[in-house]
Structure 1
Amino acid sequence: MRFGFFDVGDVRLHVASTGDPANPLIICLHGFPEYWAAWQEVMLELAGDFHVVAPDQRGFNLSSKPAGEEAYRAKHLVADVAALADQLSPGKPFILAGHDWGASIAYAYAFAHPDRLTRLVIANGVHPVCFQRAILQDAGQRRASQYFHKLRAAGAAERMVEDDFARTLRMIAGFSKTDWMTPEIEAHHRAAWARPGAMQAMLHWYNSSPVVVPRPDEVVTDAPLLSMEPDRARVRMPHLVIWGEADEALRPVCLGGLDRFAADLTVKKVAGAGHWILHEKPVEVAAIIRKFLEPATAGSDK
């Protein structure tokens, strides 16, 4: 792995990379509460054929942590990716991959910059309109998303840090099994969370999000994301979703209607894997991605 920093406007991103920079570029975006290493094992599997790059997104680990919720709105997070991509692959389209919150930003980038992407890869992440609809219409997904309230509440950062990050670790375990969380990996995560201002910055992602999560018995039938024009939420490039079927945070209903937004859609479901599929099944995830990226077979297995 190689490490460095990129200035993207007023923000500085810490970036990990591997593989030959002359090979096709894949930018990999992590989610909460992780950092670039969410993709590490997958990156190493793909390094022989691709230039694989994973930033710490703003607010996380070694990247800049601007103050205030406004700095973490999707438009700023997308701008970070756009500026990074323009430095790594100026004028040449690339492949974008995302997991969890990284998937949300990958979708937003794909909506805004379709000409910059050859492929979009999502691992246990959700299209924003499909996710919002699932939360409002499916009782199971609404229950699974109630943790949003805990992370958006006043004092959440202090509570997530207490007792050496005990709540943060319990939340990770609640999303799916964590056999992959060795003492070494846990120590690296704790170190990332302990960086000054990191936990508050990470939680700003939740507070700045337009996703509406009603209480279980609350009657809510509409939300801002459902008012998006369909064309603004369309995935115009070949699109792969890798889905660990044992995910406790994102239920299968979240995939409902995705084909209406993605004409060239491939969904690969992985039995026995959960939300942390990148850690649980990195070899299988990398193999699925590699097959999807082969020009002769891309998007053919649907």
Structure 2
Amino acid sequence: MYQPHRAPRVESVPIRTLRYQTRVWPAERPDGKAPPLVLLHGWMDVGASWQFVVDAFDAPFAAARTIIAPDWRGFGGTRPPTRCDHYVFADYLADLDQLLDHYAGDRPVDLVGHSMGGNVAMAYAGARPARIRRLVNLEGFGLPATQPAQAPARYAQWMEQLRQYERGEMDLKTYASADDVAARLRKTNPRISADKAAWLARQWAAQQPDGRWAIQGDAAHKIVNPQLYRVDEALALHAAITAPLLSVHAAGDSASGWWQGRYSLAEYHERLRHVPDARSAEVQDAGHMLHHDQPQAVARLIEDFVLA
């Protein structure tokens, strides 16, 4: 099994109505200049997912700064105090805002997000531009454009899925063992090595009282957002970003595969033209989970960008 090289400290931070579980790798030799590095995970993932990248950072880079990786609300160790039947995207921005209050105060941070976390990072950097020094978006492509005429069907779909959730029809699958969870991870992402999958399975899932292993993600996250994705609002947030942006995508072009012609990597890059200072990079031999597939390459891209 994979053995982490840099052990985090796991903290529980009061954020709004929640206790936010956060992994913190403290600076070993702080130089007083390096800003905190905040790592935001994606949908149905956990903060521990960043361990491979943290381990791949050069020693001087990691030693000089505090690195922070929270579990988003409804994932990992951050669970609502009472049962919740849906999640709202804007809550991630408010949670992040108060997490930065706790860990950085008034100091700008370097912010990295993967997938859903990348979308949160982009929106937050537009809403709170002064709080972000450097911004890295790993495969956070946004969503296909929608039209107002889709609203009635979307609200109806949301209400029906709430009923399905109550009936248990959206419950996540459980597994007989952690090894079965690891096998699932490797089936979803064949590029992840067996040792990394075995370690991550024990972070991504937890053993239940009945002995089975359950993914540490609330099934309510599967319920569709009742509000349509509005590209004009996303572009207004993009235009308000003042931090330099590095957008990183995998050579596997997961965007086109997901959306089957409804949205493309080229369209995403066209949207990035609204960000005042943006550049792109590609990671070879990687899919959507590029921070698992090529952690050394991702670590170098982050280091070179934030140190420039």
Shorter chain as denominator, the TM-score bin is 0.7 to 0.9
Moved more, 53-62 or 250-259: 250-259
Structure 2 counterpart of 1:275: 288
Structure 1 counterpart of 2:150: none
Secondary structure, aligned partner of 1:31:
coil
Structure 2 counterpart of 1:36: 47
Give the superposition deviation at 1:245: 1.3
Q: Would the alpha carbon gap of residues 192 and 288 (structure 1) be closer, same or farther in structure 2, given more than 3 Å must change?
A: farther
Whether contact under 8 Å (1:6, 1:13) holds in the other structure is yes
Give the superposition deviation at 1:78: 1.0
Aligned sequence identity (%):
24
Aligned residues: 265
Whether contact under 8 Å (1:244, 1:271) holds in the other structure is yes
Structure 1 counterpart of 2:269: 256
Q: Would the alpha carbon gap of residues 243 and 232 (structure 1) be closer, same or farther in structure 2, given more than 3 Å must change?
A: closer
Give the superposition deviation at 1:174: 3.7
Give the superposition deviation at 1:103: 1.3
Q: Would the alpha carbon gap of residues 232 and 183 (structure 1) be closer, same or farther in structure 2, given more than 3 Å must change?
A: closer
- Residues 54-133 of structure 1 aligned to structure 2 (within 5 Å): 54-66=69-81, 67-70=83-86, 72-126=87-141, 128=142, 131-133=143-145
Secondary structure, aligned partner of 1:132:
coil
Structure 2 unaligned residues grouped into runs of 5+: 1-7, 148-160, 258-264
Whether contact under 8 Å (1:157, 1:200) holds in the other structure is no
Residue from 215, 220, 230 that aligns with 1:204: 220
CA–CA distance in 1 between the matches of 2:182 and 2:144? 24
CA–CA distance in 2 between the matches of 1:188 and 1:228? 35
- Residues 156-167 of structure 1 aligned to structure 2 (within 5 Å): 157-161=170-174
CA–CA distance in 2 between the matches of 1:266 and 1:153? 42
Could you list the per-position Cα deviations for residues 206-249 of structure 1 after superposition, in whole angstroms to 9, with x for gaps in the alignment? 425357xxxxxxxxxxx541352732343332101121112546
Secondary structure, aligned partner of 2:76:
coil
Whether contact under 8 Å (1:99, 1:124) holds in the other structure is yes
Structure 1 counterpart of 2:187, one-letter code: A
Q: Would the alpha carbon gap of residues 173 and 33 (structure 1) be closer, same or farther in structure 2, given more than 3 Å must change?
A: farther
Structure 1 unaligned residues grouped into runs of 5+: 137-149, 212-222, 296-302
Structure 1 counterpart of 2:231: 226
CA–CA distance in 2 between the matches of 1:203 and 1:193? 16
Structure 1 counterpart of 2:91, one-letter code: H
Secondary structure, aligned partner of 2:140:
coil
Give the superposition deviation at 1:250: 5.8
CA–CA distance in 2 between the matches of 1:93 and 1:33? 28
- TM-score normalised by length of structure 1: 0.74
CA–CA distance in 2 between the matches of 1:169 and 1:156? 24
Q: Would the alpha carbon gap of residues 193 and 119 (structure 1) be closer, same or farther in structure 2, given more than 3 Å must change?
A: farther
Alpha-carbon RMSD? 3.5
Give the superposition deviation at 1:17: 1.2
Structure 1 counterpart of 2:198: 183
Structure 2 counterpart of 1:216: none
Could you list the per-position Cα deviations for residues 157-190 of structure 1 after superposition, in whole angstroms to 9, with x for gaps in the alignment? 4243366697996587346633354323223322
Whether contact under 8 Å (2:238, 2:275) holds in the other structure is no
CA–CA distance in 2 between the matches of 1:193 and 1:177? 28
Residue from 13, 17, 41 that aligns with 2:20: 13
Secondary structure, aligned partner of 2:68:
strand
Structure 1 counterpart of 2:12, one-letter code: F
Pair member with larger Rg: 2
Structure 2 counterpart of 1:246, one-letter code: G
Give the superposition deviation at 1:123: 1.2
Structure 1 counterpart of 2:250: 244
Secondary structure, aligned partner of 2:218:
helix
Whether contact under 8 Å (1:248, 1:275) holds in the other structure is yes
Moved more, 114-123 or 198-207: 198-207
Secondary structure, aligned partner of 1:228:
helix
- Residues 143-182 of structure 1 aligned to structure 2 (within 5 Å): 154=165, 155=168, 157-161=170-174, 170=184, 173-174=187-188, 177-179=191-193, 181-182=196-197
Could you list the per-position Cα deviations for residues 251-274 of structure 1 after superposition, in whole angstroms to 9, with x for gaps in the alignment? 534633133221211111011111
